[in-house]
Every structure is written in C-alpha cells, then in structure tokens.
Amino acid sequence: SGIWAIGLWSVGVPPAGLSRAGLPFGLVRRELACEGYPIELRCPGSDVVMVENANYGRTDDKICDADPFQMENVQCYLPDAFKIMAQRCNNRTQCVVVAGSDAFPDPCPGTYKYLEVQYDCVPYSDTGEVSPHT
C-alpha cells in the first residue's frame, strides 16, 4: 500500500541502492532537510520514532545546492544533533523539527547546512522508553 511512500525522501533523491518502493519493517528510514526547512519523522500506526543517527552540517558538496563558497566545507559535523533529535522525537509517532539555528547550534558559520536523520519505527512500549541522559 501507499503508506511507505509518505515522507520518506524530503529532497526526492534516494541514496544509491535504495529505491522509493516499500520498506520492510525494521529498515532504517532516512530523512533530509536543507537549512531553513522542516524535517518530519513519521511512523505508521502506533509505532514510534527511535533516532539512530543524526547530523546537522555538511558532509557532501552536492546535497542542498547553494553558492559554491557555502558548500566548500564538507567536514561540518554537529555531534549534539543526535541528542537533540532523540529528545524531540523518540517515543513519538511523528515529529517536525526545522533545520536551523532555533533547534541547533551552528557548527560551521557561513556554510549552507542540512539536517540528516536516520531512524527506526518501533512498537511503543511503556517500559522500553528511552530516558534522556543527564
């Protein structure tokens, strides 16, 4: 059915080797949003988001096209992106986060960044909640 196609590829360019066709359960989903745009993580039914990996920055010189000088730095990482996305999205059926300075500190001023998130959809469990590390 069509539920797999909803929101899987924000930029419409699946990575090599992955098609836009249906995804089996348990396969990590990938979302990407350019700076200034929202990213939406969504799970079917009562399944909830479990963030596996996230980066806000730039590691590729082709994604999210901009002026060339804003794309030169491809070593831009924000280690806290994972923690921020997990706090906002884990154990929810869906969440929306804007890729920008309201949610994330700027790891490389002057570079046009994007937010990339990999996540699983897992059955919700009252006992299996992930508590944020303090």
Task: Write down how long the chain is.
Answer: 134
The three-class DSSP label of residue 15 is coil
Per residue in 78-105, pLDDT (tens digit) is 999 999 999 999 999 999 999 999 999 9
CATH of the domain at 115: 2.60.120.740
100 inside domain: yes
Residue 89's H or E segment, with its range, is helix 81-89
Q: Name the domain count of the chain.
A: 1
108 inside domain: yes
The pLDDT-based confidence of 107 (bands split at 50, 70, 90) is very high
CA distance 129 to 66: 39
Could you tell me the residue range of the domain that residue 35 belongs to?
A: 28-121
48 inside domain: yes
13 inside domain: no
CA distance 52 to 120: 7
14 inside domain: no
C-beta of residue 9 within 8 angstroms of C-beta of residue 40: no
pTM: 0.74
Mean pLDDT, the chain, whole residue set? 83
Per residue in 46-81, pLDDT (tens digit) is 999 999 999 999 999 999 999 999 999 999 999 999
88 inside domain: yes
